[in-house]
Amino acid sequence: MKKKNNNFLVYLILGIVFLLVVLASYLVTNNFIVPIVVFVSSVAYALLYARKKIVKHNEKLKHIEECYNFSYNFTIAINVKNSVDVAYESISESLSPSLKEYLSTLEHEDRLTAIGHLRNYFKISAFDVYYRILLLYFEQGGNIVQMASLILEEMENLNARALTMKLKIRRSLLNFSILWFLALAILVMTRFLIPSFYLDMLANPIFPYLILFFFLFILLSAHMFIVRSTKDEQLGEMHEEF
């Protein structure tokens, strides 16, 4: 349910942005051709690229946090309980709804095998290393906290980088939005505050094409922002799929 809500929020934000841009393009050009081109281009870009890219990146960051929380809590529980089943039950309430839902599909498996399947859920190489440590622990014994300390530290650092990345993206998105909102506001206000100047521009046959280029440039800027903000290289190596 949380995943659906997050995706709905993405769609809602994109929809509001597109409507504002289309409305602004109509107010500036006073014709329907430019808004239609802007609308079709924006919707096509959102559906074919932006939506998938944003949702996938958000899932990646969410899985990093889930991976660290699960691995850390399970390690502590195993150290205390010394039983896969008891340790799993003790941390089950702290799991995210999506992780619980995934694990519920593996109820026919024994707990250790089910935890191994989490590699396909997290898709993070650090968790593959962690699972190998768990197998080694249950085969040969030892101190699980000491055995997993290094990989847990790496997971913690990865989670910290993911959180930092979220904050940077939010700040950058705010700055990006304010910049283009002001640009659009100035463009629209020209029509109402300087009507004579606006009418002179509107009389120029090149004006609609210049406005269309301006709005397509906004779309290009949004694309560059999304590409730059979702670069996984910022997370380091241990996030990579195994």
Cβ atoms within 10 Å of 127's Cβ, excluding its own: 26
Greatest mean pLDDT among 32-46, 94-108, 143-157 lies in 143-157
113-159 pLDDT per residue, tens: 999 999 999 999 999 999 999 999 999 988 999 999 999 999 999 99
209-224 pLDDT per residue, tens: 888 899 899 889 989 9
Cβ atoms within 10 Å of 223's Cβ, excluding its own: 14
Q: Which of 119, 117, 108, 112 is nearest to 139 (CA)?
A: 112
Q: Which of 232, 109, 149, 136 is nearest to 118 (CA)?
A: 109
- pLDDT band, residue 231 (cuts 50/70/90): confident
Distance separating alpha carbons of residues 146 and 148, to the nearest angstrom: 6
Predicted TM-score (pTM) of this structure: 0.81
Q: Which of 231, 122, 237, 217 is nearest to 168 (CA)?
A: 231
Q: pLDDT higher for 190 or 74? A: 74
Q: pLDDT higher for 233 or 32? A: 32
Q: What angle do CA 207, 211, 213 make, to 5 degrees?
A: 115
176-206 pLDDT per residue, tens: 888 888 988 888 888 888 888 888 888 888 9
Worst-scoring range by mean pLDDT, 20-34, 62-76, 97-111, 137-151?
A: 20-34
* Mean pLDDT on 1-25: 69
